Structure 1
Amino acid sequence: MSWDLVVIGQGYVGLPVSQHAVLNGLSVAGLELNTQTVAQLNAGHSHIGDVSNSDVQNMLSRGYVATGDLEVLAEAETIVICVPTPLGDSGAPDLSAVESAVRSIATRLRPGALVVLESTTYPGTTDDLVLPLLEASGKRVGEDFYLAFSPERIDPGNETYGLKNTPKVVGGVTKESTRRAADFYGRFVDSVVEVKGAKEAETAKLLENTYRHINIALVNEMSKFCHELDIDLWEVIDAAKTKPFGFQAFYPGPGVGGHCIPIDPNYLSFEVRKKLGYPFRFVELAEEINNSMPGYIVRRIQDLLNVDAIALRGSKVLLLGVTYKANIADQRESPATDIAEILDRAGAVVSYNDPYVPEWGFSDKRLVSEIDISEAASSADVVVLLQQHQIYDVGALSIISKRLFDTRGASRDSSAHRL
């Protein structure tokens, strides 16, 4: 069988790509090495929040198949790589999954096929890593196959912008590769933006998230000194954003999380150091500030308890919301984990509530979400709002809690303590 598209990786990025392609009439195979995920998808069950069970069942009815068989690559007109690219223990990008995927493609590539890398990486990966691996067997780009990079822009839980109506940036290693990638995405994405090459497309993704990373660090740093100077930073931000030009509001919080902000800027910093021999100081400073927030949150909790001569050790701390973003179940890189671990080492008794996370763990602890939030809040020494899920009535919580520490600026009650 011939496939219009094979998507390598069926996670937070790959499954939505498969979904939108199949809904627009393309024949799609989702290549996934996790056998449990393959079985789950083929049974009509989704494992990510933005794609429901009924969505997967609809995909299956239109011909979608999840598979672990690498031979589907030989039957694909287009192959899109959506595999994880985490940071390794040394802080360097771990591209082993990308490299493994490309090696699998190289020995099976059909003539004229288009290969697109969507996994976030450092500038030059498509030209310097992917291209040589594909050409190692004697095939040549522009003659035997086409190669491009198109950064994923999936924003989990975003009800306004999804894959279809978010402009898709594409940059090929040749002009014809760019054109073919643009034509491919144009079949199921409203707007495609062509750039000079793959390096420009790779760097655009990193710029987007570095911009956010640095601006979040700015307001996180401001939150610390505004607290010391008795300045309400939330009021400051509300006032500043009334300016209709030259300002975009960013908000402080307990740290950064998710699949992009804590990771992507480090790819750019890594490449600058490796290729040019000097640091990307903005990124490294932002990393330092944002990584300091969990420790700062715990110090603020301790300060609240100290006012009433209560020790942090032995105190009951209830954490509300342990996901990295509101109203989703995604916990990747959530600062809640670091906060819980610091509290646990200090001897606090940590509990949590999160309607999206029934079970949660940190260090060697495994916890179950508190069912009765009112009872849990009233019995805790301090309640800490880490994520502003819609289900939380912050006004009511500020009344029933002995102490409410709001890290998201959700409360307006004077009895709550805001970051």
Structure 2
Amino acid sequence: MTPARLTLYFCIAEVLAMTPFASFPALTPYFFDHWGLSGTEAGWVNGVFFLGFTIFGLISSTLTDRVDARRVVLFGNLLAIVGAYGFAFHAIDFWSALPWRFLSGAALACAYMPGLKLLTDRIPVSAQSRAIAFYTACFSTGSAVSFLLIGQVNTWIGAEAALASAAIGPPLALLLILTVTRAKSHHAPRSWRQLLNFKPVLTNRVTMGYVAAYFCHSWELMAMRSFVVAFLTFAQSQSEAPAWMDISVIAAVVIFMGLPSSVLGNEISLRIGRQRAIGLIMLLAFITSGLLGFSAELPFILVAFIAILYGVFVTADSSSITSGAIASAPLELKGSTMAVHSFIGFSGAMAGPVVAGIVLDAAGGHENMIAWGVTYLSMGAIAIFGPFALRLTRTI
């Protein structure tokens, strides 16, 4: 099978595995009303998903230096089915939602980065940079499909059916991986004693520069995605929005823009240099976050445009950062490098929604325009630190 075709299949499997991703954020206004959640509680429900991703990401990605990543990915998709089912039928309030969202995050961790390792283990080095760019960009596509699926089912059938629909994708992803891959012996498995020794990664100055930048990127990105539907719902209530402007569709477009922008960002970085491209993109994302946050009283069509623009800038550096981290690692440490990259990066993804929720409550709550402005500005502000982290990637 050609690298291009295999990459396509893996991208499809990734999108299918992510249908439970937006089970909570796509329905945040519903949970605000029916569960009486505060912004802080909503932030924690979003954040605990990434806590599961962070913890299991460290374990699952590290294991791929010892065992075939295929086994880890298949387990992740099985776990995703359980998590989606549990949240749909057993979560009834803030506290009961937490373990199921944690489990869904853990499932995605076992499917996402190990899936990238599974792919790169089966294609030549010359094809890996663009394969990584498309695969990481499809994280945005999977997120967008999840938002669109759950939002549309909620619109036409109801919230309960929307939550149940989230379980559709993982079984299909599991079948696809079983069909297009075969078990493969590991090229040079690390010993169990060395498996959790991350010192070679942590002392790699170049790698850690990209990892620190990924922390900033993930904080901003996941905070934005966690509250985008709630913000658009508030903005729509502040103006007479055209009837054809469906919030779930707009949110899906905002998030889907991560695919072309991430791939384009990688191509730009190949031409002008990763550090320069990533720094420029992060600056533009910060500026746009402030514009969006304080735009709620503008005509809704303009709010939607700024949101889409923010969706472009906030994701354009994703594949460049990940490609840089992986390229900086020796072959025998790529799994551990992905583990550290995922663990530290998604620690930011966990903290971002929680801090955003706290800021939202402290500034006035989810029905206050100034509160939303301050919240989005706080999301973008973390990007200021990204270019400083990238200084570590410069050769001395």
Q: TM-score, normalised by structure 2?
A: 0.24
- More RCO (CA 8 Å, sep 6+): 2
Higher helix content, 1 or 2: 2
Compare CA radii of gyration and give the structure with the larger one.
1
Q: TM-score, normalised by structure 1?
A: 0.23
